[in-house]
Chain A
Amino acid sequence: NAGVTQTPKFRILKIGQSMTLQCAQDMNHNYMYWYRQDPGMGLKLIYYSVGAGITDKGEVPNGYNVSRSTTEDFPLRLELAAPSQTSVYFCASSGRARDEQFFGPGTRLTVL
């Protein structure tokens, strides 16, 4: 049981490039979340999903897109990378609303 996995662990992008951060969970959880963590700012919710085919915006969705075609996978897409998107990105999942979230190890992204 791998829990929540994220790839890649690290990535450096140039301004304007695009990339997809991958997230997968093997716990059959319906709820999945993407957060970004910036120093001194805690975690901010980017997007979340309550099941396959259903996604919704969080606090800071601008510049990002998501899709949820399967229960297991919840990729996060950056279309035109900007320096403001330099951050650590965490994916999380939970079995029910308002229940414990299980976090992946994170992806450290730098945009130069």
Chain B
Amino acid sequence: AQSVTQLGSHVSVSEGALVLLRCNYSSSVPPYLFWYVQYPNQGLQLLLKYTSAATLVKGINGFEAEFKKSETSFHLTKPSAHMSDAAEYFCAVTSTNTGNQFYFGTGTSLTVIP
């Protein structure tokens, strides 16, 4: 079975501080992992994805994530938070044995304090 756990439903950081959003996955086969961002009253947009190539993945808006198989983690980071980063962030997992289904985490709401 596939699942994703996002630790911390709410994260607050000061503008200019490091952003760290946590995602741990469960998968019996090599996973495909995604981070999506959702701004208020909008659909989800892809930030970045891991598909078994490089373990450090760079995405849009300065975000990156590192796939760590030993820790079953795919944490999202950004060195310096900007006010425009305030949004809801979702981690998702799929694999070759999920029947085309994606499994999303419950989301982390990021607040950036000026």
List A residues at the B interface (Cβ < 8 Å).
4, 31, 33, 35, 40-45, 48, 50, 56, 58-59, 90, 92, 97-98, 100-101, 103-106
Contacts and interface: CB of A to CB of B under 8 A. Distances in A.
Nearest to A96: B100
A-side interface mostly = strand
Interface of B: 9, 32, 34, 36, 41-46, 49, 51, 90, 92, 94-96, 99-102, 104-107
Contacts, number: 55
Given A50-B100, A98-B95, A105-B42, 4 more contacts: A43-B44, A43-B104, A90-B44, A98-B96
Given A43-B90, A98-B94, A98-B95, A103 B43 contact: yes
A31 B90 contact: no
B101 A48 contact: yes
Nearest to B34: A100
A40 B106 contact: yes
Contacts of B100: 31, 48, 50, 56, 97-98
A21 to B, nearest CB: 14
Contacts of B107: 40, 42
9 contacts: A33-B102, A43-B44, A45-B102, A59-B101, A92-B43, A98-B32, A100-B49, A101-B46, A106-B43
